[in-house]
Amino acid sequence: MFDPACPSSAMPIRIGDKWSAQVIVCLDEGPRRFSELQVPIRGVTPKVLTQTLRALERDGMVTRTAYAEIPPRVEYELTELGRTLFAPIAACRAWAADNFSAMLEAREAYDNRD
């Protein structure tokens, strides 16, 4: 049914990925340091943020630039490829705005069934 060669099997942004879209949105206005990403993305652990940034870098969505300074400085920035994700993210946000309450009702009904 699902061909392993199908491009969807290599999708970098999964619908259930909690952090990637948030990182991409946070990088919309330009490069940010790791600590500058942690503030708006409340709840993400440093380990998970590091994993997310590495995955986005591997997929060509984000670049990581390390500056030879003391103390060391590292910045993350969206690539042109990463910027192409704004339209799909906006569509997901619009869907959530339109359907969030219905989804919560469905969850509650499911959790309260016999």
The CATH code of the domain that includes 102 is 1.10.10.10
Per-residue confidence (pLDDT) for residue 14, from 0 to 100: 59
Residue range(s) defining the domain that contains residue 73: 7-111
Within a domain: residue 93?
yes
Per-residue confidence (pLDDT) for residue 17, from 0 to 100: 78
Within a domain: residue 51?
yes
Lookup: tokens for 93: 């946000």
For the chain (114 residues), the mean pLDDT of every run of 10, in chain order, is 59 71 94 95 94 94 95 95 93 92 95 90
Per-residue confidence (pLDDT) for residue 35, from 0 to 100: 94
Q: What is the gyration radius of the CA atoms in the chain, in angstroms? A: 17
Split into its structural domains, the chain has a count of 1
DSSP notation for 64-95:
EEEE--SS-EEEEEE-HHHHTTHHHHHHHHHH
Within a domain: residue 2?
no
For 37, the enclosing helix (H) or strand (E) is: helix 34-38
Q: Report whether 82 contacts 61 (CB < 8 A).
A: yes
Lookup: tokens for 69: 């300074």
Within a domain: residue 55?
yes
Within a domain: residue 14?
yes
Within a domain: residue 90?
yes
Within a domain: residue 48?
yes
Per-residue confidence (pLDDT) for residue 7, from 0 to 100: 61
Per-residue confidence (pLDDT) for residue 3, from 0 to 100: 60
